[in-house]
Amino acid sequence: MSLIVQKFGGSSVQDAKHLRNVAGLIAETYLEGNDVIVVLSAQGDTTDGLIEKACEINPGASKREMDMLLSTGEQISVALCAMALEGMGLPCVSLTAWQAGIQSTSVHGDARIKKIDTERVRGELDQHRIVLVTGFQGLNRRGDITTLGRGGSDTSAVALAAAFQADLCQIFTDVDGVYTADPRIVPTARKLEEITYDEMLELASQGAQILHNRSVELAKKFRVNLEVLSSLERKSGTHVKEVTKKVEKTNIAGVARDVSIARVALVGLEHNPGVAFQVFHLLSKHNINVDVILQSIGREDTKDISFTVHKKDLADTVAVLEEHKDTLRFDHITADEHIGKVSVVGVGLMSNSGVAAKIFEALYEAGINIQMISTSEIRVSVLLDEEDVNRAVRAIHDKFFGEV
């Protein structure tokens, strides 16, 4: 007998029909003799509906009250799903995060799970009940309900899997696994049977929308055996784990794209030491995340610094920098929203210099111009014109996987 944690997202529980499907999947796992903990998100657009209600009342509502409001969404999901399981004659119980002992940090809207008090859930499992827990939330030291921020339900599932030393943590989504590239862009993309935590992390942060980073980090930390699979088809998905067997000739796990970024350049910075630090310290103080950074020698003893930010942060970034123009001493700022990033991810990628060459070759053959390059231990990213992004993904994917 195993203990399995199963997580279903908002679209998987959006209405009675979908909830019955989810209940069927849970029932199968339970009837095979497993202990089952289920984590659910709020139904479909429930959260958006609640946010709309809040905005109508007070667009500047406190995050504490937003959490109080939004946490009802998952509570509705778990209660309804429990009712569906009851209808199938299965013993079950729905629990809010506080009932399930999920303790979080105090910050509202973006709390972290600190600790899980396992007593209540353990007691329910001992009674052979399927335990349904609200995802995305916790209880802070003050006794207030918190929410975990984006991807929070994945994190709840992984944290529960870690706390209960589950044999498997299944994240059900509307795709059937992790692909070598987005199948909507690259029709020949193939599903991966396995991927390492690190590769998944790079893919996640490089724009693959399957698993949220925080949940993968947590899974890595506690060696949680993760599986990403579809709630609509009964077939195995992609396993995320520490070490994978590489059956393929290449070390590439996949090709990811990100078109939600913008490029900012500070042109004509004076050559004073520490100016780069000043710039990025300033942006960090304003909660602006910076990704690819490039520093180059400009004309006449000045230099330029280019970097990318999320598109939504572009206006703030420019405003903050302009405000400190006198201190930072640059000539002017340029900004470009029409760029995109393509990343190739794979364990041991950087130890194989042939990989980078192969990427550049693919892009050269496709006639695509590279604006900036950034690399990590297991990733190579290139910055391109936004309109070249999809073509670049196909070209690179073909270069690595095309021959198979």
Q: How far is the CB of 98 from its own copies (least distance, A)?
A: 8
Q: What residue has token string 């809040």?
A: 54
Dihedrals phi, psi of 190, to nearest 5 degrees? -115, 150
The region, left, alpha or beta by phi > 0 then psi within -120 to 50, assigned to residue 8 is beta
Work out whether 267 is an interface residue with its own copies (CB under 8 A): no
CB of 145 to its own copies, least distance (A): 8
Our finding on whether 373 is near its own copies (CB under 8 A) is: no
DSSP labels, 182-204 = -TTT-TT--B-SEEEHHHHHHHH
Is 320 near its own copies (CB under 8 A)? Answer: no
CB of 49 to its own copies, least distance (A): 10
The window from 89-97, 276-284, 322-330, 383-391 that contacts its own copies (CB under 8 A) reads 89-97
Beta strands in 80-175 (DSSP E): 92-95, 102-104, 113-116, 130-134, 137-139, 145-147, 168-173
Pairing of strands 254-258, 339-345: antiparallel
Binding to its own copies by residue 355, rule CB under 8 A?
Answer: no
SS3 category, 264:
strand
- Rule CB under 8 A: say whether 86 interacts with its own copies: yes
Residue 105 interacts with its own copies (CB under 8 A): yes or no? no
Strand partners, 146: 138
**Phi–psi pair at 257, nearest 5 degrees:** -130, 155
Q: State the helix-helix crossing angle for 353-365 and 389-401, rounded to 10 degrees.
A: 130
CB of 76 to its own copies, least distance (A): 5
CB of 83 to its own copies, least distance (A): 4
Distance of closest approach, residue 71 Cβ to its own copies, in angstroms: 8
Nearer to its own copies, 149 or 183 (CB): 149
Q: How far is the CB of 327 from its own copies (least distance, A)?
A: 35
Q: Are strands 226-230 and 238-241 parallel, antiparallel or unpaired?
A: antiparallel
CB of 52 to its own copies, least distance (A): 10
Interaction with its own copies in 20-39: which residues (CB under 8 A)?
A: 20
Q: Which is nearer to its own copies, 153 or 180 (CB)?
A: 153
By CB under 8 A, residue 144 contacts its own copies: yes
Which residue, 10 or 207, has its beta carbon nearer to its own copies? Answer: 10
Q: Is 137 in the site for its own copies (CB under 8 A)?
A: no
Instruction: Give the integer Cα–Cα distance in Å for 275 and 295.
Output: 11
- In this chain, which of 31, 32, 48, 53 binds its own copies, going by CB under 8 A? 53
CB within 8 Å of 171: residues ≥ 6 apart: 7, 154, 157, 211, 215, 226, 227, 228, 229
Residue 103 vs 295, nearer CB to its own copies:
103
What is the smallest separation between the CB atom of 74 and its own copies, expressed in angstroms?
Answer: 10
Residues numbered 227 to 256 that lie near its own copies (CB under 8 A) are none
Encode 246-278: b = buried (16+ Cβ within 10 Å), e = exposed.
eeeebbbbbbbbbbebbbbbbbbbeeeeebeee
Output 61 or 318, the one with its CB closest to its own copies. 61
Taking CB under 8 A as the rule, does residue 204 contact its own copies?
Answer: no
The tokens describing 96, both together, are: 């809010």
**How many amino acids of this chain bind its own copies (CB under 8 A)?**
38
Name 395's Cβ contacts closer than 8 Å, sequence gap at least 6: 362, 363, 365, 366, 368
Residues within window 54-83 making contact with its own copies, judged by CB under 8 A? 54, 56-58, 60-62, 64-66, 68-69, 71-72, 75-76, 78-80, 82-83
Stretch that binds its own copies, among 139-147, 169-177, 287-295, 372-380 (CB under 8 A): 139-147
Distance of CA 86 to the CA centre of its chain: 33
Which tokens in the block code for residue 331?
A: 């000539």
Question: Hey, which residues between 108 and 127 contact its own copies (CB under 8 A)?
Answer: 120
Residue 191 β-bridge partners: 179
CB of 233 to its own copies, least distance (A): 23
Q: Contact positions toward its own copies, by CB under 8 A? A: 16, 19-20, 50, 53-54, 56-58, 60-62, 64-66, 68-69, 71-72, 75-76, 78-80, 82-84, 86-87, 93-94, 96, 98-99, 120, 143-145
